[in-house]
Amino acid sequence: MNLGLIDWTIVFIGLVILVLSATRTKKYFLSVAGFLASNRLAGRYLLCIGSGAAGSGAVNMLAIFEMYYRGGFAIRWWEQMLGPIVAIVLLSGWIVYRFRQTRALTMAQFFEMRYSKNFRIFVGILAFFAGILNFAIAPAVGGRFFIYFCGLPDNFILLGMSFSTFPIVMLFLLGISLFFTFLGGQIAILITDFLQGIFSYIFFLLIFLYLFFHFGWSNIIEGAYYSPPQESLINPFKAGDTNEFNIWFFLIWAFAIFFTHMSWQGTQGFNSAAKTPHEARMATVISGYRGYIGTATLVLIAIAAYGMMHNPKYSNIATLVSDTLSNIENPQIRKQVTVPVVFSKILPIGLLGCFCLFILGSFISSANSALHSWGCILIQDVILPFKKKNVTSQNHLLLLRLAVLSVAIVVFFFSLFFRQTSHLIMWVNITAALYAGAGAVIIGGLYWKRGTTVAAWTAMIVGLTISAAGIIIKQIDPDFFINEQFMSFTAMLSSLLSYIFVSFINTKTFDLDRILHRGKYAIKEDQVVVRSFTEGGILQRLGITKEFTMSDKFIYFFMFIWTIIWGVVFVIGTIWNLITEVPIRAWAEFWRIWTYIHGVFAFFIAIWLVIGGFRDLSSLLRRLATAKCDDLDDGNVQHQIIAESIIRDDDAQAKTNKANIEDSTDSIGNLKEVH
């Protein structure tokens, strides 16, 4: 057992805080919209921190450790190439603003509004199965981490019988995640993920300080010198033999950032939870700052682990780690857990508990969001669209909970028997690519009035076919010459081209104002006007609208300038290295300065986000205490039309739409009560 009493106490206290916070949300759990999207009452900082925690997850953390252990600072250099792409996506409000304008509770609900009901069902089924495959290895990855990091035995004796530890740990991890989701739906997830985000900020700071003051920069970077000549962890221009994680990996990643933004539905509850479209946009802008909080620390963790395993002065630690890893038969699993196992041998009492709590919280925050997302999509977009009669809110919520439970059962057994054959990040990318066609469908649906239903069907089927073929090939032949990243890129590009080609055949256009609630369809509570605004001015061309306050503009422009600075550094550094060979010691000095800057920057960003997050949390609880329950806001498109007519005080339209709903005694009763 690697953890002592103090470490287990830290883990226990953190878990108790999460449980108590989730329990408090039960009294605010009033409606389907509350379960699905926190009644659309979340502020930007709460969304930013919560969605960041949900998206980071234990699987993603271990995948990042695995990637940086393989490529180190060299990978981080090429990631800087993504900065301008990320900035454009975040600052422009790409996808997120217009999706929130639709007021859809799931992406597939938007697809019904934009394309057709049958397409909603098809995409719902596809999203559900892609999500299950993507999430299904998470319990196994999390379970193995805790077994090897905590030093738990492979088996234990209870009542004279021997039990395997692995499935018990998975049951615990899924059980606690399931508890949070059952208790308060997206409201509980939003709050507990926010707290987990704060835990992670504290962890990043403590580990950063420990590595620098205990080992020192010189010892950390010295270990990186032991990498093979053409697999440098320091010089990105000497890292050409790192195979999967090369420049092509990041070029494809850059395309995916633009193309797939918000298409993956693993955190769909956050996508619809913002108070207004502008608040949703600002949450994504601020998330650009959030990404810097753990960047330097994550690279340092992997580099330090590499040094422990390759630097002769730490040979005693390497021996202990190797002895532990030698008991793992699967080579891919050995790669996944190498970094955590190293840190289980070098961290002092207290920090071991913090590391364990960090990964536990990461697993819970991503697992409860995944359970919630895929369970809700199954009900909202696959099962309920088939029903001709309306479902009462009570039965609707029961169905949602049962679906979440079903997802937990399926992924448990999948994790128990599935054998992984590729890097974690590759598996994540290729399974997400099953849903690759959604990028074209979303972009075309929100931004192009000529996009057609036939084009949407074509794009989804093309993306699915190519991605499914990739999964099958890699399972049959793990050494197939095309890796998962290129397969996912092929699927994305093919779906985009097919959508454009088919849509050009069409001569009709779609009224985007109707689903984006603009002009005569506008909904007042979603509109934020803080100042006069000149249409067509320079600010509008930069993406700044009448909804921006002075502080919003400062946040926007600082991100813009920060991105330009590091973009210039990347361009100058690349040109310099193409002209002349830069000594590795110069690169090491660059990374030292880079680490210091990002470490200090991360500290102040974390303080800012935490203050804003607690302010938003207080506001959310106040709003939830007085929120009215509207049973029409349940993801049913016809119900949504009626509810929006009421909000706009359009009585004639409401009566017309109400007449189109058959056998809707409960809904009509709710309509009268709300109106």
Q: What is the pLDDT of residues 598-616, one digit of tens each?
A: 999 999 999 999 999 999 9
Report the distance separating Cα 516 and Cα 101, nearest Å: 5
DSSP string, 579-609: HSPPPHHHHHHHHHHHHHHHHHHHHHHHHHH
The string of pLDDT tens digits covering residues 215-270 is: 888 888 888 888 887 778 888 888 765 555 566 777 787 788 888 888 888 888 88
CA–CA separation, 612 and 618 (whole Å): 10
Eight-class DSSP state of 161:
E
Q: 626-665, pLDDT tens digit by residue? A: 877 666 676 677 766 666 665 555 544 444 544 444 444 3
655: which 2 tokens? 């009566």
CATH 1.10.10.10 fits 5-509+583-631, yes or no: no
Structure tokens at 615: 């302010």
Say whether 292 sits in a helix, a strand or coil.
coil
Distance CA 386, CA 364 (A): 32
Neighbours of 174 (CB within 10 A): 25
For 5-18, what is each residue's pLDDT tens digit? 899 999 999 999 98
Rounded CA gap, 267 and 425, in Å?
A: 18
Of the chain, the percentage scoring pLDDT greater than 90 comes to 23
CA 271, 274, 277, 278 dihedral sign is negative
Q: Is the pTM of this model over 0.85?
A: no
User: In this model, does residue 423 exceed pLDDT 60?
Assistant: no
Q: How many CB atoms lie within 10 A of CB 507?
A: 6
| 288 contact partners, CB below 8 Å, separation of at least 6 | 86, 87, 90, 91, 559
DSSP 234: S
pLDDT digits (tens, 9 = 90+) for 341-369: 888 888 898 999 998 898 888 888 888 99
Crossing angle, helix 58-79 and helix 424-432, to 10 degrees? 90
For 474, residues 6+ apart whose C-beta sits below 8 A from its C-beta are 421, 422, 430, 480, 484, 487
Q: Report whether 295 contacts 602 (CB < 8 A).
A: yes
Residue 671 has pLDDT above 50, yes or no: no
Q: How far is CA 36 from CA 303, 369, 442, 607, in A?
A: 40, 11, 20, 29
Domain assignments of the chain as residue spans, ordered by start: 5-509+583-631, 636-675
From residue 353, alpha-carbon distances to 3, 207, 237, 477 in Å are 7, 12, 38, 40
Q: Percentage of the chain surpassing pLDDT 70?
A: 85
